[in-house]
Structure 1
Amino acid sequence: MAAPTEEKYSILLPTYNERENLPLIVWLLVKSFEESGYNFEIIVIDDGSPDGTLEVGRQLEKMYGKDKIVLRPRAKKLGLGTAYIHGIKHATGDFIIIMDADLSHHPKFIPEFIKKQKEHDYDVVSGTRYALGGGVYGWDLKRKVISRGANFLTQILLRPGASDLTGSFRLYKKDVLHHLIDSCVSKGYVFQMEMIIRARQNRYSIGEVPITFVDRVYGESKLGGQEIIGFAKGLLFLFATT
């Protein structure tokens, strides 16, 4: 185990029906941080999951301690953007890491995020599926085409200067994330895209780390037709207002 460092990292894990995935993602996170020696806390924001996710969270809290597993549930599903707003209120870290709880983002990449941030003092470090060394596993052709197409269209319309706009695996300086959340108006999947656009507008520095995204093993994907329509509307809104 590496020697502890002064900086603290708060990982925000929004959950909805993730009872199978939560124990494993938490174990992987704890293992990664203990091996790297960085101080951390995992903030679980459960949106009233009917499958017992919160009960699993309580067991993990007993196992790892309340200083490492911080449960901050909400009564119902209120959207990704508001989950981050809720989570950051309770974060005590200097840096905030946002990621999915469904095992599509592997914690093994986090030390690379931290290293990249330290080397260049980046305000934001974003995981990218579309740079050399990155990729996607487990998606069918249709989903790959939708994702690539959405990213390509976004690049043309918004010219963000980052290769992966719709990803949700990122590291932020805490004060930067506060400012970006305050300036964002989008919800759901468009929220991630707007965060990068607003970061560029505010001249925040953005670094990228290639990651491999793995489709969820347990549970159902939350991406459907309504999310795709919402993304298209959000993209057009950002094009018109930024």
Structure 2
Amino acid sequence: MTGSSLDSEITRSDKYSILLPTYNERENLPIIIWLIINYLDGSGIDYEVVIIDDGSPDGTLDVAKQLQKIYGSYRIVLRPREKKLGLGTAYIHGIKHATGNYIIIMDADLSHHPKFIPQFIEKQKSKDYDIVTGTRYVGGGGVYGWDFKRKLISRGANFITQLLLRPGVSDLTGSFRLYKKDVLQKLVDSCVSKGYVFQMEMIIRGRQLNFTIGEVPITFVDRVYGESKLGGSEIVQFVKALLYLFATT
């Protein structure tokens, strides 16, 4: 679908709120914001970027304030919190302040490229999907910048989740998605996870509630600046959540 035909698919009432949870992303934030604006401005897409900073000690919020001055408060919306409270609650917080009828969630560390956002919107419009999720594992999707060990862990985690949970999507652990706002609110209300497994549970609950899900192949790039927030505790949390979802779904 070309840019002009995408324009014709988007109604005047459609607005997309891009939620960007941040924690120690002062180097990445200006780049990801520039990329979002570069790919969406002039596309006919009405959007806002909601930055939810969790009390980053590196000055991320100060950078966000400067970006708001540059691009305008109508485009960059700041909804910070005092401390790190978890990814799931960051999205809950962001939804409360989002003015769009569609919500896009993505990482601020440059692992998700904004060039895929128009493809997500195109996919959603094609069959009025409730959810569109990015996939690294089919149709030209991929991962760049990971060593063999991390790729093996990711593939293994995805294989196990497919085997146990049968989610109906090829990439259950991804976190680059588009939701209808009311659908996302229903999913948030039904989820119990608040950490990194929040994304995984969202798809499982979506399947339970019979929401329609489309997929868009994406390339995932490991972060350029800063350290990965995935550690041993997150892996343990993932295993516990997987077993919980297997037992309750």
- TM-score between both structures, scaled by the size of structure 2: 0.95
Please tell me whether residue 157 in structure 1 is matched to residue 174 in structure 2. Answer: no
Candidates 67, 78, 96, aligned match of 2:74: 67
For 2:141 and 2:182, locate their aligned partners in 1 and report how far apart those are by CA, in whole Å: 28
For 1:233 and 1:84, locate their aligned partners in 2 and report how far apart those are by CA, in whole Å: 21
**Aligned alpha-carbon RMSD (Å):** 1.1
SS of alignment partner, residue 146 of structure 1: helix
Hey, what does 2:230 align to over in structure 1?
223
Q: How far 1:5 moved relative to its partner?
A: 4.8
- Which consecutive segments of 4 or more residues in structure 1 shift more than 3 A? 1-5
Question: Is contact 1:186-1:194 (8 Å) kept?
Answer: yes
SS of alignment partner, residue 147 of structure 1: helix
Question: Is contact 1:5-1:37 (8 Å) kept?
Answer: no
SS of alignment partner, residue 227 of structure 2: coil
Hey, what does 2:195 align to over in structure 1?
188
Q: Residues 42-80 of structure 1, C-alpha deviation per residue, up to 9 Å, x if partnerless?
A: 000000000000000000010011110000000000000
Candidates 140, 154, 163, aligned match of 1:133: 140
Range with greater deviation from structure 2 (29-38 or 176-185): 29-38
| Structure 1 unaligned residues grouped into runs of 5+ | none
Q: Residues 160-192 of structure 1, C-alpha deviation per residue, up to 9 Å, x if partnerless?
A: 100001100000000000000000001211110
Which structure 2 residues correspond to residues 82-161 of structure 1 after superposition, within 5 A? 82-161=89-168
For 2:75 and 2:49, locate their aligned partners in 1 and report how far apart those are by CA, in whole Å: 6
SS of alignment partner, residue 216 of structure 2: strand
Question: Is contact 1:18-1:102 (8 Å) kept?
Answer: yes
For 2:95 and 2:72, locate their aligned partners in 1 and report how far apart those are by CA, in whole Å: 20
Question: Is contact 1:5-1:38 (8 Å) kept?
Answer: no
Partner amino acid for 2:193? Answer: S
Candidates 73, 78, 81, aligned match of 2:85: 78
For 2:92 and 2:40, locate their aligned partners in 1 and report how far apart those are by CA, in whole Å: 24
How many residues are paired up?
242
- TM-score between both structures, scaled by the size of structure 1: 0.98
Question: Is contact 1:16-1:46 (8 Å) kept?
Answer: yes
For 2:196 and 2:141, locate their aligned partners in 1 and report how far apart those are by CA, in whole Å: 20
Partner amino acid for 2:227? Answer: E
Identity of aligned residues (%): 76
| Structure 2 unaligned residues grouped into runs of 5+ | none
SS of alignment partner, residue 164 of structure 1: coil
Q: How far 1:98 moved relative to its partner?
A: 0.1
For 1:189 and 1:149, locate their aligned partners in 2 and report how far apart those are by CA, in whole Å: 17
For 1:178 and 1:47, locate their aligned partners in 2 and report how far apart those are by CA, in whole Å: 21
Q: Residues 123-144 of structure 1, C-alpha deviation per residue, up to 9 Å, x if partnerless?
A: 0000000112100000001100
Question: Is contact 1:45-1:87 (8 Å) kept?
Answer: yes
